[in-house]
Amino acid sequence: MHYHIILTKECNLKCNYCGGGSDTHPREIQYSLDDLKKFISQDKDPILEFYGGEPLLRIDAMKNIMDSITDVKFVIQTNGMNLHKLESKYLEKFSSILVSIDGTKDVTDKARGDGVYERTLQNIKIIRQKGFRGDIVARMTVAQGTDIRENVMHLINLEDCFDHVHWQLDFEMFWEAWEHTVAGLPEWIDSYNSGISSLVDWWISEMKRTGQVKGIVPFIGIMNSLLRGSPARLRCGSGIDFFTIMPDGRISACPVSIDFDFSVIGSIYEDAPSKLVERTNVGEPCTSCDVFSICGGRCLFVNRSRYLLREDGYTMICKTVKHLILEMQKAMPQVWELIDIGGLYLVGLDYPGFNNGCEIIP
Protein backbone atom coordinates (compact mmCIF):
# COMPACT_ATOMS: atom_id res chain seq x y z
CA MET A 1 0.00 0.00 0.00
CA HIS A 2 0.96 3.64 -0.44
CA TYR A 3 1.15 6.00 2.53
CA HIS A 4 1.44 9.76 2.49
CA ILE A 5 3.46 10.73 5.55
CA ILE A 6 2.72 14.32 6.51
CA LEU A 7 6.01 15.52 7.99
CA THR A 8 4.69 19.01 8.76
CA LYS A 9 1.77 21.26 7.96
CA GLU A 10 4.15 24.21 7.50
CA CYS A 11 5.08 25.52 4.06
CA ASN A 12 7.64 28.03 2.80
CA LEU A 13 5.46 29.28 -0.06
CA LYS A 14 2.10 31.04 -0.16
CA CYS A 15 0.57 29.92 -3.43
CA ASN A 16 -2.62 31.61 -4.61
CA TYR A 17 -4.61 28.38 -4.46
CA CYS A 18 -3.33 27.30 -1.06
CA GLY A 19 -1.97 30.15 1.07
CA GLY A 20 0.87 28.29 2.74
CA GLY A 21 0.49 25.23 4.91
CA SER A 22 -2.57 24.25 6.87
CA ASP A 23 -4.29 25.60 9.96
CA THR A 24 -5.21 22.15 11.24
CA HIS A 25 -3.47 20.73 14.31
CA PRO A 26 -1.19 19.16 15.23
CA ARG A 27 1.18 20.65 12.67
CA GLU A 28 4.16 18.45 13.51
CA ILE A 29 4.61 14.70 13.99
CA GLN A 30 3.50 13.48 17.43
CA TYR A 31 4.06 9.72 17.08
CA SER A 32 7.40 7.98 17.57
CA LEU A 33 9.53 6.44 14.85
CA ASP A 34 9.00 3.08 16.52
CA ASP A 35 5.23 3.53 16.26
CA LEU A 36 5.54 4.22 12.54
CA LYS A 37 7.90 1.29 11.97
CA LYS A 38 5.57 -1.08 13.80
CA PHE A 39 2.64 -0.03 11.64
CA ILE A 40 4.53 -0.13 8.33
CA SER A 41 6.10 -3.51 9.17
CA GLN A 42 2.64 -5.08 8.83
CA ASP A 43 2.60 -4.21 5.11
CA LYS A 44 4.47 -6.58 2.78
CA ASP A 45 5.01 -4.01 0.00
CA PRO A 46 4.79 -0.45 1.36
CA ILE A 47 5.37 2.79 -0.52
CA LEU A 48 6.12 5.85 1.61
CA GLU A 49 5.50 9.30 0.16
CA PHE A 50 6.69 12.35 2.09
CA TYR A 51 4.12 15.11 2.05
CA GLY A 52 3.19 18.34 3.75
CA GLY A 53 2.90 21.29 3.98
CA GLU A 54 6.38 21.17 2.55
CA PRO A 55 8.15 17.96 3.62
CA LEU A 56 11.66 19.25 2.93
CA LEU A 57 11.24 21.72 5.76
CA ARG A 58 11.74 18.64 7.95
CA ILE A 59 14.65 16.98 6.18
CA ASP A 60 16.08 15.49 9.38
CA ALA A 61 12.79 13.76 10.21
CA MET A 62 12.62 12.45 6.67
CA LYS A 63 16.18 11.13 6.82
CA ASN A 64 15.49 9.36 10.11
CA ILE A 65 12.55 7.54 8.52
CA MET A 66 14.55 6.64 5.41
CA ASP A 67 17.45 5.36 7.53
CA SER A 68 15.20 3.30 9.77
CA ILE A 69 12.64 1.77 7.40
CA THR A 70 14.10 -0.43 4.69
CA ASP A 71 12.75 -2.51 1.81
CA VAL A 72 10.23 0.15 0.80
CA LYS A 73 9.76 2.45 -2.17
CA PHE A 74 10.13 6.14 -1.37
CA VAL A 75 8.35 9.03 -3.11
CA ILE A 76 8.20 12.71 -2.25
CA GLN A 77 5.86 15.53 -3.27
CA THR A 78 7.63 18.85 -2.84
CA ASN A 79 7.58 22.45 -4.02
CA GLY A 80 11.22 21.99 -4.97
CA MET A 81 12.62 24.93 -3.03
CA ASN A 82 14.87 22.73 -0.88
CA LEU A 83 15.62 19.89 -3.28
CA HIS A 84 19.22 21.02 -3.55
CA LYS A 85 19.71 20.16 0.13
CA LEU A 86 19.22 16.42 -0.41
CA GLU A 87 22.41 14.37 -0.46
CA SER A 88 22.95 11.77 -3.15
CA LYS A 89 22.55 8.86 -0.70
CA TYR A 90 18.96 9.91 -0.05
CA LEU A 91 18.15 10.98 -3.60
CA GLU A 92 19.04 7.51 -4.86
CA LYS A 93 16.43 5.99 -2.54
CA PHE A 94 13.55 7.82 -4.26
CA SER A 95 11.65 6.08 -7.03
CA SER A 96 9.69 9.22 -7.96
CA ILE A 97 9.96 12.89 -7.09
CA LEU A 98 6.82 14.94 -7.71
CA VAL A 99 7.65 18.63 -8.04
CA SER A 100 4.96 21.32 -7.94
CA ILE A 101 5.23 23.63 -10.94
CA ASP A 102 2.36 25.05 -12.95
CA GLY A 103 3.81 25.59 -16.43
CA THR A 104 5.70 28.49 -17.94
CA LYS A 105 7.64 30.99 -15.87
CA ASP A 106 4.84 33.56 -15.98
CA VAL A 107 2.14 31.08 -15.00
CA THR A 108 4.19 29.48 -12.21
CA ASP A 109 5.47 32.70 -10.66
CA LYS A 110 2.06 34.34 -10.80
CA ALA A 111 0.57 31.55 -8.67
CA ARG A 112 3.55 30.52 -6.57
CA GLY A 113 5.73 33.63 -6.16
CA ASP A 114 8.43 35.53 -8.00
CA GLY A 115 11.49 33.46 -8.80
CA VAL A 116 9.91 30.10 -7.97
CA TYR A 117 10.06 28.83 -11.56
CA GLU A 118 13.80 29.49 -11.99
CA ARG A 119 14.69 28.15 -8.57
CA THR A 120 12.66 24.98 -9.15
CA LEU A 121 14.39 24.23 -12.45
CA GLN A 122 17.79 25.04 -11.00
CA ASN A 123 17.24 22.60 -8.15
CA ILE A 124 16.13 19.90 -10.56
CA LYS A 125 19.35 20.48 -12.49
CA ILE A 126 21.28 20.11 -9.22
CA ILE A 127 19.73 16.76 -8.28
CA ARG A 128 20.35 15.50 -11.80
CA GLN A 129 23.99 16.51 -11.41
CA LYS A 130 24.07 14.63 -8.11
CA GLY A 131 23.13 11.51 -10.01
CA PHE A 132 19.37 11.21 -9.61
CA ARG A 133 18.05 9.28 -12.60
CA GLY A 134 14.65 8.36 -11.24
CA ASP A 135 11.26 9.65 -12.32
CA ILE A 136 10.69 13.40 -11.92
CA VAL A 137 7.04 14.39 -12.31
CA ALA A 138 5.89 17.96 -12.90
CA ARG A 139 2.83 18.30 -10.67
CA MET A 140 0.70 21.14 -12.02
CA THR A 141 -2.22 22.95 -10.43
CA VAL A 142 -4.37 24.22 -13.29
CA ALA A 143 -6.22 27.39 -12.38
CA GLN A 144 -8.97 29.10 -14.35
CA GLY A 145 -7.47 30.84 -17.38
CA THR A 146 -4.61 28.37 -17.85
CA ASP A 147 -3.81 27.34 -21.41
CA ILE A 148 -3.48 23.61 -20.76
CA ARG A 149 -1.84 22.75 -24.08
CA GLU A 150 0.78 25.47 -23.89
CA ASN A 151 1.78 24.77 -20.31
CA VAL A 152 1.87 20.97 -20.48
CA MET A 153 3.94 21.11 -23.67
CA HIS A 154 6.29 23.63 -22.10
CA LEU A 155 7.05 21.35 -19.16
CA ILE A 156 7.26 18.05 -21.04
CA ASN A 157 9.68 19.57 -23.56
CA LEU A 158 12.10 21.10 -21.05
CA GLU A 159 15.45 19.43 -21.59
CA ASP A 160 16.53 16.96 -18.91
CA CYS A 161 13.91 18.10 -16.40
CA PHE A 162 10.63 16.21 -16.24
CA ASP A 163 9.98 12.62 -17.24
CA HIS A 164 6.25 13.02 -16.77
CA VAL A 165 3.69 15.78 -16.37
CA HIS A 166 0.49 15.48 -14.36
CA TRP A 167 -2.08 18.10 -13.40
CA GLN A 168 -5.08 18.66 -11.20
CA LEU A 169 -7.76 21.29 -11.67
CA ASP A 170 -7.69 23.94 -8.96
CA PHE A 171 -10.52 22.91 -6.67
CA GLU A 172 -11.18 26.44 -5.44
CA MET A 173 -12.75 27.62 -8.69
CA PHE A 174 -15.57 25.11 -8.15
CA TRP A 175 -16.29 26.14 -4.54
CA GLU A 176 -19.75 27.46 -3.74
CA ALA A 177 -18.20 30.50 -2.08
CA TRP A 178 -16.74 31.55 -5.44
CA GLU A 179 -19.96 31.14 -7.43
CA HIS A 180 -20.75 34.86 -7.58
CA THR A 181 -17.19 36.15 -7.67
CA VAL A 182 -15.52 34.10 -10.41
CA ALA A 183 -16.95 34.89 -13.83
CA GLY A 184 -16.49 32.94 -17.01
CA LEU A 185 -15.79 29.51 -15.55
CA PRO A 186 -18.12 27.58 -17.94
CA GLU A 187 -16.47 29.33 -20.88
CA TRP A 188 -13.00 28.47 -19.59
CA ILE A 189 -14.03 24.81 -19.17
CA ASP A 190 -14.90 24.78 -22.87
CA SER A 191 -11.52 26.34 -23.64
CA TYR A 192 -9.77 23.80 -21.41
CA ASN A 193 -11.50 20.93 -23.21
CA SER A 194 -10.47 22.35 -26.57
CA GLY A 195 -6.92 22.52 -25.28
CA ILE A 196 -7.10 18.88 -24.24
CA SER A 197 -8.21 17.91 -27.75
CA SER A 198 -5.33 19.81 -29.29
CA LEU A 199 -2.88 18.32 -26.79
CA VAL A 200 -4.08 14.79 -27.61
CA ASP A 201 -3.50 15.49 -31.32
CA TRP A 202 0.05 16.60 -30.56
CA TRP A 203 0.64 13.57 -28.30
CA ILE A 204 -0.42 11.17 -31.06
CA SER A 205 1.62 13.04 -33.68
CA GLU A 206 4.71 12.68 -31.47
CA MET A 207 4.13 8.93 -31.24
CA LYS A 208 3.96 8.74 -35.02
CA ARG A 209 7.04 10.91 -35.45
CA THR A 210 9.31 9.37 -32.83
CA GLY A 211 7.82 6.00 -31.88
CA GLN A 212 7.88 7.16 -28.26
CA VAL A 213 5.22 8.08 -25.74
CA LYS A 214 5.45 11.56 -24.29
CA GLY A 215 4.98 11.36 -20.52
CA ILE A 216 1.58 13.00 -20.14
CA VAL A 217 0.25 11.04 -17.18
CA PRO A 218 -3.55 11.40 -17.61
CA PHE A 219 -3.28 10.33 -21.26
CA ILE A 220 -1.03 7.38 -20.49
CA GLY A 221 -3.11 6.09 -17.60
CA ILE A 222 -6.43 6.20 -19.43
CA MET A 223 -5.04 4.90 -22.72
CA ASN A 224 -3.39 1.97 -20.94
CA SER A 225 -6.73 0.96 -19.40
CA LEU A 226 -8.54 1.27 -22.73
CA LEU A 227 -5.97 -0.81 -24.59
CA ARG A 228 -5.99 -3.53 -21.97
CA GLY A 229 -9.74 -3.45 -21.51
CA SER A 230 -9.30 -3.30 -17.76
CA PRO A 231 -11.95 -1.51 -15.68
CA ALA A 232 -10.66 1.19 -13.36
CA ARG A 233 -11.19 1.62 -9.68
CA LEU A 234 -10.68 5.02 -8.04
CA ARG A 235 -7.38 5.74 -9.76
CA CYS A 236 -5.65 7.68 -6.99
CA GLY A 237 -6.31 4.68 -4.74
CA SER A 238 -7.65 6.71 -1.80
CA GLY A 239 -9.24 4.32 0.67
CA ILE A 240 -8.17 1.32 -1.42
CA ASP A 241 -4.39 1.10 -1.36
CA PHE A 242 -3.55 4.73 -0.67
CA PHE A 243 -3.71 6.33 2.79
CA THR A 244 -2.40 9.35 4.66
CA ILE A 245 -0.70 9.20 8.04
CA MET A 246 -1.45 12.43 9.84
CA PRO A 247 0.97 14.01 12.35
CA ASP A 248 -1.02 12.67 15.31
CA GLY A 249 -1.05 9.10 13.95
CA ARG A 250 -4.61 9.10 12.65
CA ILE A 251 -5.10 7.72 9.16
CA SER A 252 -7.04 9.46 6.41
CA ALA A 253 -8.13 7.91 3.14
CA CYS A 254 -7.06 11.08 1.32
CA PRO A 255 -4.38 13.71 2.04
CA VAL A 256 -6.69 16.57 1.06
CA SER A 257 -9.72 15.68 3.19
CA ILE A 258 -7.98 15.02 6.50
CA ASP A 259 -10.42 17.30 8.36
CA PHE A 260 -13.53 15.42 7.19
CA ASP A 261 -15.09 12.62 9.22
CA PHE A 262 -15.69 10.39 6.20
CA SER A 263 -11.97 10.40 5.45
CA VAL A 264 -10.54 9.61 8.89
CA ILE A 265 -10.69 5.82 8.98
CA GLY A 266 -8.20 4.62 11.59
CA SER A 267 -4.86 5.14 13.29
CA ILE A 268 -1.39 3.63 13.28
CA TYR A 269 -1.91 2.64 16.92
CA GLU A 270 -5.08 0.62 16.50
CA ASP A 271 -5.30 -0.62 12.91
CA ALA A 272 -3.38 -2.96 10.64
CA PRO A 273 -2.96 -1.79 7.03
CA SER A 274 -5.11 -4.62 5.68
CA LYS A 275 -8.03 -3.53 7.87
CA LEU A 276 -8.18 -0.05 6.33
CA VAL A 277 -9.18 -1.12 2.85
CA GLU A 278 -12.48 0.30 1.61
CA ARG A 279 -13.63 1.69 4.92
CA THR A 280 -14.76 4.61 2.79
CA ASN A 281 -15.70 4.62 -0.89
CA VAL A 282 -16.83 6.78 -3.78
CA GLY A 283 -20.61 6.88 -4.05
CA GLU A 284 -23.27 8.40 -6.29
CA PRO A 285 -23.49 10.04 -8.75
CA CYS A 286 -20.19 8.46 -9.83
CA THR A 287 -21.10 4.82 -9.39
CA SER A 288 -24.01 5.08 -11.85
CA CYS A 289 -22.08 7.13 -14.42
CA ASP A 290 -21.52 5.65 -17.87
CA VAL A 291 -17.75 6.32 -17.69
CA PHE A 292 -17.28 5.06 -14.13
CA SER A 293 -15.42 1.94 -15.29
CA ILE A 294 -12.83 4.17 -16.99
CA CYS A 295 -12.77 7.17 -14.66
CA GLY A 296 -13.04 5.23 -11.42
CA GLY A 297 -14.74 8.12 -9.64
CA ARG A 298 -12.03 10.78 -10.12
CA CYS A 299 -11.82 12.11 -6.53
CA LEU A 300 -13.05 10.69 -3.23
CA PHE A 301 -12.94 14.10 -1.56
CA VAL A 302 -15.00 15.88 -4.21
CA ASN A 303 -17.46 12.99 -4.41
CA ARG A 304 -18.06 12.90 -0.67
CA SER A 305 -18.09 16.68 -0.15
CA ARG A 306 -19.89 17.82 -3.28
CA TYR A 307 -22.25 19.91 -1.13
CA LEU A 308 -19.35 22.37 -0.91
CA LEU A 309 -19.34 22.96 -4.66
CA ARG A 310 -21.16 25.66 -6.58
CA GLU A 311 -24.47 24.45 -7.99
CA ASP A 312 -23.04 23.39 -11.35
CA GLY A 313 -19.56 22.58 -10.07
CA TYR A 314 -19.80 18.80 -10.16
CA THR A 315 -21.28 18.88 -13.65
CA MET A 316 -18.43 21.04 -14.92
CA ILE A 317 -15.78 18.81 -13.38
CA CYS A 318 -17.41 15.73 -14.92
CA LYS A 319 -17.57 17.50 -18.27
CA THR A 320 -13.77 17.74 -18.30
CA VAL A 321 -13.36 14.07 -17.39
CA LYS A 322 -15.84 12.82 -19.97
CA HIS A 323 -14.22 14.93 -22.66
CA LEU A 324 -10.77 13.58 -21.81
CA ILE A 325 -12.02 9.99 -21.92
CA LEU A 326 -13.78 10.59 -25.24
CA GLU A 327 -10.58 11.98 -26.74
CA MET A 328 -8.64 8.93 -25.54
CA GLN A 329 -11.28 6.61 -27.03
CA LYS A 330 -11.07 8.45 -30.35
CA ALA A 331 -7.27 8.21 -30.32
CA MET A 332 -7.14 4.52 -29.39
CA PRO A 333 -7.34 3.11 -32.98
CA GLN A 334 -4.30 5.20 -33.94
CA VAL A 335 -2.35 3.90 -30.94
CA TRP A 336 -3.28 0.29 -31.81
CA GLU A 337 -2.10 0.88 -35.35
CA LEU A 338 1.25 2.17 -34.11
CA ILE A 339 1.61 -0.86 -31.84
CA ASP A 340 0.66 -3.28 -34.64
CA ILE A 341 3.21 -1.91 -37.08
CA GLY A 342 5.94 -2.08 -34.45
CA GLY A 343 6.57 1.62 -34.13
CA LEU A 344 5.30 1.79 -30.57
CA TYR A 345 5.64 -0.58 -27.67
CA LEU A 346 2.82 -1.10 -25.19
CA VAL A 347 5.35 -0.94 -22.37
CA GLY A 348 5.66 2.77 -23.10
CA LEU A 349 2.10 3.13 -21.85
CA ASP A 350 2.60 1.04 -18.72
CA TYR A 351 2.92 3.94 -16.29
CA PRO A 352 3.06 4.23 -13.40
CA GLY A 353 4.42 0.80 -12.54
CA PHE A 354 3.17 1.36 -9.00
CA ASN A 355 0.97 3.94 -7.31
CA ASN A 356 3.42 6.85 -7.16
CA GLY A 357 1.02 9.61 -6.14
CA CYS A 358 -0.21 10.56 -9.63
CA GLU A 359 -4.00 10.60 -9.46
CA ILE A 360 -4.30 9.98 -13.25
CA ILE A 361 -7.68 11.72 -13.64
CA PRO A 362 -7.21 15.53 -13.45
- Tens of pLDDT, residue by residue over 167-191, are 999 988 888 766 566 778 999 999 9
* Confidence label for 196 from pLDDT (cuts 50, 70 and 90): very high
With pLDDT > 70 as the criterion, what percentage of the chain qualifies?
Answer: 96
Q: Report the distance separating Cα 212 and Cα 154, nearest Å.
A: 18
- Predicted TM-score (pTM) of the model is 0.95
For the beta sheet containing 164-169, the strands, ordered from the edge strand earlier in sequence to the opposite edge, are 164-169, 135-142, 94-100, 73-78, 47-51, 2-6, 242-245, 250-252, 264-267
The superfamily CATH assigns to domain 2-349 is Aldolase class I (3.20.20.70)
The closest of 135, 197, 192 to 169, measured between CA atoms, is: 192
Q: Is the pLDDT of residue 343 over 70?
A: no
Q: What is the mean pLDDT of the chain?
A: 93
C-alpha dist (Å) from residue 145 to 151, 169, 175, 195: 11, 11, 16, 11
